Structure formats: structure tokens, C-alpha cells
Amino acid sequence: MSEGPELKAFALLAELSEDERELVTDLLERLELDPGEQLFCEGQEADSLVLIESGTLDLTSARVGAVGQAGAGDSLGALSLVSVGPREVTAVASEAARVWVLSRESFRRLCEDAPRAACRILEAALADFAGAVRESLDRFSGAPSGA
């Protein structure tokens, strides 16, 4: 098996089989970020999924300021694997971080080589997105989360 992150730690990839996780690992690019180093900038084309193995990224938006943080086990940009558009936030390492990147091009290769794995990733990404939409609507309406 290729050396890479423990993909079971990422909810987005938890439903994949061991063989499918190995296929995904082979497609990932590792990036090491120093504190203060920018991973991506708001407005840039969103063209990859980012898996955070270690460290913390500060997320900011020109529209609303600080958005929050993402840390070990979190993923960013899953929908960019199939949807063209700009990044909505800027991500900067607040401490040393190791991230793994799955480009849209590599994901398309996965779609051809292992369509079941690609489908499971998209199902998980859409479930996360739907949850985020529900949470936003609940906050907007004043309803309790999970209602």
C-alpha cells in the first residue's frame, strides 16, 4: 500500500473499502504548510478536495471576516471535485500542517477506474452539504439545530 494518510479518519472517505482507499491514496498529493502559509485564496478556482491530516487552518472571507478553523480529520472543497467555481474562503495555516490534495483531474481518473468509490465520495460530500444547508436554514429561522 502507498504511504499516505489514514483515510478512515476522514468521514468523507470512511465508507470506502480498503482497496478503494488505496486507490484514492495513490491519487493524493501531500503538502506541508508552515505557520502563516496560505493554502488557497478566496476567489481562486476551486479545483480540489483538501484533507487535513495534521495542524489547523484559519478560514477567512472578505465578506464576513473570520469563518472558523479546520483541523485534523476535516476536509475542504469536496464539491469542487465536480463543480466549477471560486473558493469561498482563504485558508492559511495557523500552525504547521500536513494536507493531502485530490485534484479534480485525479478524481475524474478515479471515476473511470473505480466508479463505486467515486460515487461513495460524492454521496458523502452531498450529505455534508445538505447538513450544512439545513444548519444554515435553522440558524436563519431561529429553529434549534437538527429540527
Examine residue 1 and state whether it is found in any structural domain, yes or no.
Answer: no
Residue 115 lies in a domain: yes
pTM metric for this prediction: 0.87
Q: What is the dihedral of CA 113, 118, 120, 125, to 10 degrees?
A: 170
DSSP bridge pairs for 29: 101
User: How confident is the model at residue 63, as a pLDDT?
Assistant: 92
Within-domain flag for 31: yes
Residue 129 belongs to domain with CATH number = 2.60.120.10
**pLDDT attached to residue 106:** 97
Helix (H, G, I), strand (E, B) or coil at 68: strand
Packing angle, helices 18-27 and 115-141, rounded to 10: 80
Domain-embedded: residue 145: no
Residue 143 located in a structural domain: no
For residue range 105-134, list pLDDT tens digits in order: 999 999 999 999 999 999 999 998 898 888
The answer to the question of residue 72 being in a domain is yes
Range of the domain at 42: 7-138
- Asked if residue 100 belongs to a domain, the reply is yes
What's the residue count for the chain?
147
The total number of structural domains that make up the chain: 1
- Residue 2 inside a domain? The answer is no
- Residue 86 neighbours by CB under 8 Å, 6+ apart: 42, 43, 44, 45, 46
